[in-house]
């Protein structure tokens, strides 16, 4: 049996724990046989990321790189986790806020689910997603439990600097924003209003929702428990859409060095 080594390449002794996991005596990293160290070289990471940025599937990346498909899938999970840590700075100025619902097309749902109703919009059984869009083209989005004020407004306070202008529709979840130090402007979609002379609209965020849903639909369905990782991926891709792939690769390698191993890419 080959000698076990730390996934962070510490070259220290590895201990087996009572729960059958392993622990590095140097850095304290723990892992299991079901989640073994990747042991990918820097050039292999660059190749995986390069094909990933071209939106190739794990199967196609495995074929192009000559790596085992399971290793590619695990490495892409690490990439998406790294993307999730690349959070935009606090927004200021004019921002748009809105929520949407993810969960596949209605016609593809099982008959038992369609019989319950709640086909579209608020009140649906789909997963709610809340987003904030800055007018510089940067978006922030997160899965939420519901679209009520108690859930959405703390996220606005967390991500938007007080004194900023917040544009939203007339959903009750945004009622009271003006009392919390923001300028609150409304667009009434129910009356056919989508913009006004002051630039009050949420078209930028709705554009991102369309982009997100098209990308997820192309995946052919995402398990609900993995939706957060794919949301993080497409938020990252959207926010860095103007960078070339070489700069994107460098940025992702820096994120992976912090998350997985400082040796990645060296």
Distance, in Å, from the CA atom of 102 to the CA atom of 126, rounded to the nearest integer, reads 6
Of 229 and 35, more confident = 229
In this structure, are 54 and 133 located in the same domain?
no
State both tokens at 239. 């926010």
Average pLDDT, whole number, for the chain? 85
How many domains does the chain divide into?
A: 2
Domain with 22, as residue range(s), is 14-86+243-259
Q: Is the dihedral of CA 110, 111, 115, 117 positive or negative?
A: positive
Half-sphere exposure of 63 (CA within 13 A, CB side): 5
In this structure, are 115 and 209 located in the same domain?
yes
Q: Evaluate whether residue 264 is within a structural domain.
A: no
In this structure, are 174 and 112 located in the same domain?
yes
Residue showing tokens 């609209």: 201
114 has which bridge partners? none
Residue showing tokens 């997985």: 260
Does residue 47 contact residue 56 with C-beta atoms inside 8 Å?
no
What is the per-residue pLDDT for 39? 77
Distance, in Å, from the CA atom of 87 to the CA atom of 137, rounded to the nearest integer, reads 14
Q: Evaluate whether residue 161 is within a structural domain.
A: yes
- pTM of the predicted model as reported, rounded to 2 decimal places: 0.80
Distance, in Å, from the CA atom of 82 to the CA atom of 254, rounded to the nearest integer, reads 9
Band (pLDDT 50/70/90 cuts) for residue 188 is: confident
pLDDT by residue (tens digit) across 67-102?
Answer: 999 889 989 999 999 999 999 999 999 999 999 999
Residue 217 has pLDDT above 50, yes or no: yes
Distance, in Å, from the CA atom of 11 to the CA atom of 135, rounded to the nearest integer, reads 48
Looking up residue 111, the CATH number of its domain turns out to be 3.30.420
Q: Evaluate whether residue 171 is within a structural domain.
A: yes
Band (pLDDT 50/70/90 cuts) for residue 213 is: very high
What is the per-residue pLDDT for 106? 45
**Strands across the sheet with 14-16, in order?**
14-16, 22-24, 30-31
> What residues have CB less than 8 Å from 72, skipping those under 6 apart?
48, 58, 61, 62, 65
Q: Evaluate whether residue 232 is within a structural domain.
A: no
Which candidate, 14, 49, 40, places its Cα nearest to that of 28?
14
User: What percentage of the chain exceeds 90 in pLDDT?
Assistant: 61
Which candidate, 50, 103, 93, 89, places its Cα nearest to that of 204?
93
The string over 94-106, giving b where at least 16 C-beta atoms fall within 10 Å of a residue's C-beta and e elsewhere, is: bbbbbbbbbbbee
State both tokens at 181. 């130090």
């Amino acid at each position: 049996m080959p000698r076990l080594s730390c996934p962070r390449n510490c070259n220290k002794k590895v201990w087996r724990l009572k729960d059958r996991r392993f622990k590095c005596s140097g850095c304290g990293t723990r892992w299991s046989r079901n989640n073994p160290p990747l042991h990918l070289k820097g050039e292999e990471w660059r190749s995986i990321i390069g094909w990933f940025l071209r939106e190739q599937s794990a199967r196609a990346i495995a074929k192009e790189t000559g790596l085992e498909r399971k290793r590619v899938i695990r490495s892409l999970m690490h990439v998406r986790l790294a993307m999730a840590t690349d959070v935009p700075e606090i927004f200021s100025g004019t921002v748009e806020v809105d929520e949407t619902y993810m969960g596949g097309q209605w016609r593809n749902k099982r008959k038992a689910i369609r019989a319950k109703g709640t086909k579209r919009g608020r009140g649906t059984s789909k997963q709610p997603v809340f987003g904030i869009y800055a007018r510089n083209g940067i978006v922030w989005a997160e899965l939420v439990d519901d679209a009520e004020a108690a859930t959405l407004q703390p996220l606005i306070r967390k991500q938007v600097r007080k004194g900023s202008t917040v544009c939203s529709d007339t959903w009750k979840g945004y009622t009271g924003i003006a009392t919390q130090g923001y300028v609150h402007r409304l667009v009434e979609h129910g009356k056919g209003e989508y913009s006004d002379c002051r630039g009050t609209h949420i078209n930028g965020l709705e554009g991102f929702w369309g982009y997100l849903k098209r990308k997820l639909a192309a995946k052919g369905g995402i398990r609900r428990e993995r939706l957060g990782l794919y949301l993080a991926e497409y938020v990252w891709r959207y926010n860095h859409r103007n960078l070339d792939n070489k700069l994107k690769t460098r940025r992702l390698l820096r994120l992976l060095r912090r998350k997985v191993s400082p040796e990645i890419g060296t």
